[in-house]
Structure 1
Amino acid sequence: MDAGTGGHALAGHCHCGTQDHGRAHGCFLELYGAALRMGRFDWDLDTGLMEMDATAHEVFDVRADEYDNRPETLAFRVPPVEAHRLDEIVSHALKDGSVVYGAYFRVRCRDGTLRWTHTQGHILRDATGRPHRIVGIVNDATRERADWLPGERADEEAERRRTTSIVQGTTAALAHARTVRDVIDVLKDASGLAHLGASNLVMGLVEAGRIRLVAEGPKGSYVQGTRLTRIDEAYPMSEVVRTLAPRYIETPEDFAASYPLLWPHIDELGITAAAYLPLIAQARPIGVLGLLYQDKTGFPDEERNVLVALGSSIAQSLQRAMFYEQEKDLAQGLQQAMLPRSIPGVPGAEIAVRYRSAALGRDIGGDWYDVIPLPGGRVGAVIGDVQGHDTHAAAVMGQLRIVLRAYAAEGHTPATVMARASSFLHELDTERFATCLYAEADLSTGVVQFVRAGHLDPLVQLTEGSCRRVPVDGGLPLGLSAEFGRLDYPVTTFELDPGQTLLLCTDGLVEEPGADLDDGMRAVTELAATGPRDLQKLADRLCGIVDGRGGDDDAALLLLRRRLIDAPQSGGRLQQHVAPSDPEALAEARHMIRAAVRAWGAGERADEIELVADEVITNALMHTDGSAIVTLRVLTGTDRRLRVDVEDSSSALPRRREAGESGVSGRGLLLVDRLADVWGVDARGSGKCVWCEFIVPARNAR
C-alpha cells in the first residue's frame, strides 16, 4: 500500500497492536505532547484521512484551516525528495509486516527555511495481517541536530549531492546546445530544472530595448500582454534587466504588492513564489530566466546559490547559441548567394537539383551544381566540390562556378572548359583544389560528352528503372592539373536515350564514415533503381540518405532526364576534338556521328555519312601535324541537309589521286565525291575546313 505523496506515514512508536492501546497512547500524547512539542496523528488507511492535533499543525507550520485531514495537503510543506523517501519507508513497512517505523525528514517553513522533523509510527493490522490504521507522533528535531545519526547526515549530504548533480547535469546538457531552441529544450526537460520544484518557467531575450518572450511552460501558463515588454515597464523581468540582480519573490503578498499588473494572472496559476535571474554575458544582459513555484515560500541561501550558478551557466550557453545562429545565418546566406538562384528551363530536358548542408560545423561548404543552356539544343550540367567546409571554400566555389559557366557559354569544348577552369583556380593563389564533372548534352541527338576532374563517375537510370555506373576517363582535380602541367582532359562520349536520367552527385551523398566509397555508390545506385519515377521525388529520396545520416560533409545532386516532347528537332550541332595518334578519340568521334545521324532522322544514309566523315577525319590526321575538329550540324532551307565539317591546321588542299589496282590509298576523295551530295574546302585562317553535305528527309516526310 502506497503511503501517498506528502502523507509520509507520520506514525507513532508502539509495541502492541490493539485499538485500546492506541487510544491510551493518544491520551498520553495529549498530556505531554505540547510540552515536548510532540504532535499526534491518527491515519485511517481505509478512508485515507489523517487527523492531527494542534501541536502537529505547529510542527508542520500549517494553520488548522490550511489542513483538510488529507495527507497529500502537506506536500507543499515537505520537499519532493523528502516525500519520496518517506513514501518508500512507509510502503516498505506496510508490505513487510513491520509493526513500527521511524524516520527523520525536513519541513519547509513559511519563511522558506528547512527544519528537521522526526516521526515514529505504529501500524495496526486486522486478524489477517492487513494494515488498516497508523497512529503516531511527529516532533521538531531541531535540537537533535548535533546528535544526528550517521544515516541522517548521509541523507543531508545526499540532498546536497542531488542539487549539485542537477547543476552539473544541466550544465553538461547545455554544453551540447547549439541553438536557442536547444537551450530552451534543456531547461524545459522534466529531468532538469523541474526537479528543483519549479512548476512554471519563462525565458525572455533582450532585443533593442525590449524583452521578447521565447519560452514558457507548461502550456497555458502564458500571460497575455507579456510577449514583448519594454525594459522600463513594471514587470519582474524588466526590473532584473535594469538592475542586473536576481529578484526573489518569496510570498504571494510580495508578488501582489510589487507587481500589481501581473499578479492577477499569476494568482490564477497558483503561484506563491518566483525567482527571476538575469542572464548576463560579458557584463551585458542578454536575457532573463523566470522560475515560478506553487505551494512554496522563501528562498534559503543555499538554494539562491544554486540558482545563481545555474543562471551563469545558462547565460554562457545562450550567448554561444546566439553567436552560432548568427554565424549560421551568415553562412547560409553566403552559400545561397553562391549557388544558382534558379535552374533555367531547358527544352528537351527535365532537371532536378538538391543541396544539403553539413549537419556539423558551419553548415557551409564548397559543393555546387549548375545548369548551362547552350546553343543548338545543347545543355551543360556541372557538379563540383571545392576542398574545405568554410566560408573560404564557398567563396572559391562561387568564383569557379561563374568562370566555368562563362567558358562553356563562350562555346569552348568540354575539355577546354575544364582546362581553363583549372588554370583559373591555380591563378587564384589559393591552396584549395576542386573536383568537378562536366557533361555537355545534345538533347536532340542524346549524345553526351563527359569530362571528369578527380570527381565521382556519373550514374544513369535507364527507362525501365535500372541504374548503373558510367565509367568516365578523368584527369587531375582542378587547380592541381594546372600546377603539375597536366591540363589534358579526355572526353568520354555517351548516348542518352529518351527517358533515361543522368545522376551527378558529390561525395557527400555517397560517403559515410567507416564505409567504402564503392559501397556508397552501390547503395545510391540501388536506391535510384528502386526510386520513384517522378524526378523531384527521386531527388528527395536520394537526399534522404544525407538527411537521415547527418555528418560533417555537404552534398549536391543534379538529375537530368532527356525527353523528346519539347526537344529541339532541327538545327542540331555537335563538335568533337580528335587529337593525332589518339585512336580512342577517333572512336568517340565515330560514335558521336553515328548517334547524331540516327537522332536527326538520317538513318537511311547513316553508313554513307559515317564512311565519308571517317575518311575526311583520317585524311586530316594523316596529312597534317595537328589535330582535327569535327563539327556536325543540321541545315534547314529548301532541302534539309546534314553537314560534316573537319577542320585542321594545314593550308594544303586535298587532291584526288588515281589508285592502282593494288593500291591501298588514293580512293578517299573518290568515296567523298561519290557518296556526298556536295562537298568542298574552305580556308580557315592558317588552316582549312573540308566539308560535305547530305540531303536527308525532314522528320514529318519520313
Structure 2
Amino acid sequence: MVERVAGPLSLPDDWPAHADISLSLNRMGTFDWDLDSGRLHLDAPALDVFDLCPDEYDGRPGGLETRVPPTESIHLDELVSQALRDGSEGYGSYFRVRRRDGSLRWTHVQGVIRRDTAGRAHRVIGLVRDAAQELADSAARHELGTLRRVGAGVVESTTAALAHARTVQDVIDVLKQSHGLAHLGASSLVMGLVDAGRIHLVAEGPEGSYVPGTRITRTDEAYPMSEVVRTLLPRFIESAQEFADGYPMLWPSIEDLGINAAAYLPLIAQARPIGALGLLYRDRIGFSAEDRNLLVALGSSIAQSLQRAVLFEQEHDLAEGLQQAMLPRRIPAVPGAEIAVRYRSARLGRDIGGDWYDVIPLPGGRVGAVIGDVQGHDTHAAAVMGQLRIVLRAYAAEGHEPATVMARASVFLHELDTDRFATCTYAEADLTTGVIQLVRAGHVDPLLRDTDGSCRRLPLPGGMPLGLSAAFGGLDYPVETVELDPGQTLLLYTDGLVEQPGADLDDGMQLLATLVRDGPRDLQHLADRLCEVVDARGGEDDVAVLLLRRGGTRAPRSGGRLHQRVARDDAEGLATARHMIRAAVTAWGARERSDAIELAADELITNALVHTDGGATVVVRVLPRTERWEPGRPGEGLPGTGPPGAVPSEPEPLLERPGTGRRLRVEVEDGSSALPHRRDAGESGLSGRGLVLVDELADDWGVESRGSGKCVWCEFAVPDRPGH
C-alpha cells in the first residue's frame, strides 16, 4: 500500500488537472454541433479518435464519411433523428470507426441536445471516445450479444426457409432473396456444384457479379472454391492483401469491386463435397471464432438442403422418364382427325403416378381414345397403369363394344391382386359419320369445344371405377352416344387438370372451360397452353390430356350397306346372301367383276359355315375414295401366311387409300376366334383352296378380330360412277 506522508501536502503546479487533459488522457474528445448552420466542431482528442488530422476535416458531418462505414452512418443518423423528433434530452450509441490502416475500432458517442424555449433542437454538445476496451463491460457485452443473436437468427431463419426448398433453384432463390446474407454483412455471393472434378457456378448475387471465366473451373485450380472443395476446410480471407497474395489469378478480376474480406465454405454432405459457397465483404476486416462457427453452421445447412434438392431432381427426372416410357411411344396418324396428347408429372412430388392416355386404331376405320388415372403416386401405381393400358387396348382392338371393353378391364384389374382402382373414360369414334360412343368409369366428364370456340361439359352417366365395379358386382357401364361435327374438339383429361386443394371441382371445371374457350385455335398450341397453366400452378397430382378434333369437312358417304344373316344348314339363307351380293354388284356398277366378287364371297361364306360353329353374317358395302385401309400384302400377318413360327406383327396405323376409285368390300363375320389359315390343297384337291382362291381374285383381303369372333373381308376396286 502507498503510505501517506505526514505534514503539509506538496501538490503539482497543474493540480487539479484541467478537463481537457483528463479527456485527452482517457482518449475522449468533445464535439459541438450547431444544427442551424450545420457546423460540427471536433477538438483535437476527438479528431484523434477518428484518426483524422486537422487539415483533413472540413468542419461538417460529411467530413467523417471516410472514417464511418455506411452501415454505421445509417445507424447513427436514425438514432439522432429519432432523439431530435421525440424530445429526448440526449442520446448515446456504440459504433465502429475505420482507422487509417483499415482496421475497425469500437467508438462511443454521447450527446446532449439543447433546445430553445419552444422546444426546438438547435445544438448538440457531447463526447466521443475510444470504446475498444469497453467490450469487456456489461454494456458492450450486451451489444455484442445482440449481434450474436442476430447472426444466430440468420442461420435459423435461413435454415427454416431452406427446409421448404425442393430444387436447386429453390435453394438459390432462398439465398438470393433472403435478408440473411445482408444481415451477415455480405455484399455478394457465389455458389458452385461439384460434378466430375469440376465446379459449375450455379448462382451469383447480385446478378452479373461473377468473375468472367469462372463459370466452370477444375477442382485442382488455384481458386478459393477449388481449395475448400479439395481440403474440405473453410477458407477465411481477412484482408485485401491476403486475397491478392493467396489468389493472384482471381484477385485482378475482383480488385475493383472493393472486396477486402471473404469466407469460402465447403458444402459437405455425407462426408463428401457437393459444392462450395463464397461470401464476399466490402466493410469487414477479420472473423472472430464465433463468426467462423456461425458461417460454418450456415454452410452445413445449405449443403444438406442442396443434397436433398439434387436427389429430389434426380429422382423426379427418373420417375418422369419411367412414366413417359410407359405411355405410348407414338400416336398413330388418324385420317379425318387431329389429335394432341400431353402428360405432366406432379410438380410437388417425386413419385411417378398412374395417369395415362392412348389412341387405338380400330377395325372399320374407327379409332379409340382413352384417358385414365390409377389410384396412387408410386411405382406400383405406374406398374398397374402399364398393365391396364395394355389390356384395355387389347380388348378394344378385338372389336368389343365400349361397355364390354370397360367391364372386362374392370374384371382384369380386380383379379390383378392389387388394392388399387382406376378411373377411366373410353371414347370410340367413327370419324366418317362423326358418331362417338363414350363410356365413363368414375372419371371426370369430358368437354366439347365447338367450332366457334365455345366449350361445354358433356355429362355422362358413367359407372364405378375400374376394379371397384368388379368387386361390388356393378359391371354395367352405360354408353352415351354423341355426334362430333367437323371442326369440333373432344377434350379428355385427368382430374389433376381441374382439382386443386381447398377448391371446388365445379370451379375447376369452369376455369378449364374458360381456358379452352379462350385458348388457341391450333390443337397443339391449345395443349401446350393447358400444360403451361399446370406448370405455373404446380400441384401434387399428375395430368394427362387428350384432344381429338374431327376433320373440317364431312367425309363422303359410302354407296350403301347390305347385310344378311346365314345360319348353318340354312340353304335358303345362303341362297339369299348370294342373291344379295349379285344384286349389289349390279346396282353399284361392278358388273365387270361380278364373277370374281361372287366367287370370293361364296368361298368366305362357305368357310365360315363349314369350319365354325354357328352361322355367319354377310355384309356388302362400297367404300368411298377416302375410306381407310390396312396396308400390306393381302393376308399379311395372318397365321399360316409367314415363315413357320413367325409371330404376327402389330397392325400398322390406318392410312388413307391412294387408289383412284371406289372399293367394294365383302365382310363375313362368325363367332369363332380361330383365325383362318391359307393351306395347300389335299390329295383329293377338294379342300384347302378357299383362301388361295380369294387371294387370287381380290385386290385385298384380311381378317379382323371382333369382340364376338372375327371378320374375314375382301375388297375389289370398282369404277367411279359418272359425276363422282
TM-score by length of structure 1 reads: 0.72
Deviation at 1:383, TM superposition (A): 0.6
Deviation at 1:128, TM superposition (A): 9.5
Kindly report the root-mean-square deviation, in angstroms, between the aligned alpha carbons of the 2 structures. Answer: 4.4
The answer as to whether partners of 2:622 and 2:662 remain within 8 angstroms in 1 is no
Cα pair distance change 1:340/1:641, threshold 3 Å: closer
The whole-number CA distance in structure 1 between the counterparts of 2:188 and 2:298 is: 16
Cα pair distance change 1:50/1:699, threshold 3 Å: farther
AA partner of residue 462 (structure 2): G
The whole-number CA distance in structure 2 between the counterparts of 1:467 and 1:405 is: 29
The whole-number CA distance in structure 2 between the counterparts of 1:77 and 1:629 is: 104
Identity of aligned pairs, percent? Answer: 71
Is residue 309 of structure 2 the alignment partner of residue 321 of structure 1? yes
Deviation at 1:572, TM superposition (A): 9.9
Deviation at 1:513, TM superposition (A): 2.6
Cα pair distance change 1:203/1:67, threshold 3 Å: farther
Deviation at 1:169, TM superposition (A): 0.9
- SS of 2:129's equivalent in the other structure is strand
The whole-number CA distance in structure 1 between the counterparts of 2:448 and 2:310 is: 44
Is residue 184 of structure 2 the alignment partner of residue 223 of structure 1? no
| Residue of structure 2 in register with 1:593 after alignment | none
The whole-number CA distance in structure 2 between the counterparts of 1:48 and 1:383 is: 78
The whole-number CA distance in structure 2 between the counterparts of 1:37 and 1:546 is: 68
The answer as to whether partners of 1:188 and 1:194 remain within 8 angstroms in 2 is no
Is residue 284 of structure 2 the alignment partner of residue 296 of structure 1? yes
Number of aligned residues: 586
- SS of 1:92's equivalent in the other structure is helix
The whole-number CA distance in structure 2 between the counterparts of 1:324 and 1:65 is: 63
1:325-357 Cα deviation digits (max 9, x unpaired): 111111121222222344333211122323333
Deviation at 1:454, TM superposition (A): 2.4
| Residue of structure 1 in register with 2:365 after alignment | 377
Residue 83 of structure 2: which of 78, 85, 93 is its match?
Answer: 93
The whole-number CA distance in structure 2 between the counterparts of 1:687 and 1:134 is: 106
AA partner of residue 49 (structure 2): V
Q: Write the mapping of 1:593-604 to structure 2, written as runs, cut at 5 A.
A: none
Deviation at 1:629, TM superposition (A): 8.6
Deviation at 1:439, TM superposition (A): 0.8
Q: Write the mapping of 1:282-681 to structure 2, written as runs, cut at 5 A.
A: 282-362=270-350, 364-483=352-471, 487-525=475-513, 527-529=515-517, 531-540=519-528, 542-543=530-531, 546-547=534-535, 549-565=537-553, 567=555, 570=558, 634-635=622-623
Cα pair distance change 1:251/1:71, threshold 3 Å: farther
1:51-95 Cα deviation digits (max 9, x unpaired): 656644553467899988775686787677754443222112334
Of 338-347 and 57-66, deviating more is 57-66
1:449-507 Cα deviation digits (max 9, x unpaired): 22322222323233444443334343332333444565554433222222222121211
AA partner of residue 414 (structure 1): P
The answer as to whether partners of 1:363 and 1:554 remain within 8 angstroms in 2 is no
AA partner of residue 419 (structure 2): E
The whole-number CA distance in structure 1 between the counterparts of 2:425 and 2:255 is: 67
Deviation at 1:271, TM superposition (A): 0.6
Q: Write the mapping of 1:137-148 to structure 2, written as runs, cut at 5 A.
A: 137-142=127-132, 148=138
AA partner of residue 504 (structure 1): L
Residue 148 of structure 2: which of 149, 157, 160 is its match?
Answer: 160
The whole-number CA distance in structure 2 between the counterparts of 1:390 and 1:454 is: 21
The answer as to whether partners of 1:105 and 1:118 remain within 8 angstroms in 2 is yes
1:395-446 Cα deviation digits (max 9, x unpaired): 3323332333344334443334334433443454333221111111110111
AA partner of residue 79 (structure 2): I
Cα pair distance change 1:487/1:85, threshold 3 Å: same
Residue 25 of structure 2: which of 28, 35, 50 is its match?
Answer: 35
Cα pair distance change 1:687/1:198, threshold 3 Å: closer
Deviation at 1:199, TM superposition (A): 0.8
AA partner of residue 333 (structure 1): G
- SS of 2:384's equivalent in the other structure is helix
The whole-number CA distance in structure 1 between the counterparts of 2:437 and 2:616 is: 17
The whole-number CA distance in structure 2 between the counterparts of 1:98 and 1:195 is: 29
Structure 1 stretches lacking a partner, 5+ long? 1-26, 576-600, 602-625, 650-683
Q: Write the mapping of 1:33-112 to structure 2, written as runs, cut at 5 A.
A: 33-41=23-31, 52=42, 55-56=45-46, 58-60=48-50, 83-96=73-86, 100-106=90-96
The whole-number CA distance in structure 2 between the counterparts of 1:116 and 1:427 is: 80
The whole-number CA distance in structure 2 between the counterparts of 1:633 and 1:49 is: 109
| Residue of structure 2 in register with 1:276 after alignment | 264
TM-score by length of structure 2 reads: 0.70
- SS of 2:364's equivalent in the other structure is coil
AA partner of residue 82 (structure 2): H
Cα pair distance change 1:701/1:47, threshold 3 Å: farther
The answer as to whether partners of 1:122 and 1:134 remain within 8 angstroms in 2 is yes
The whole-number CA distance in structure 2 between the counterparts of 1:506 and 1:39 is: 78
The whole-number CA distance in structure 1 between the counterparts of 2:118 and 2:380 is: 82
The whole-number CA distance in structure 2 between the counterparts of 1:304 and 1:123 is: 41
1:639-666 Cα deviation digits (max 9, x unpaired): 98899989789xxxxxxxxxxxxxxxxx
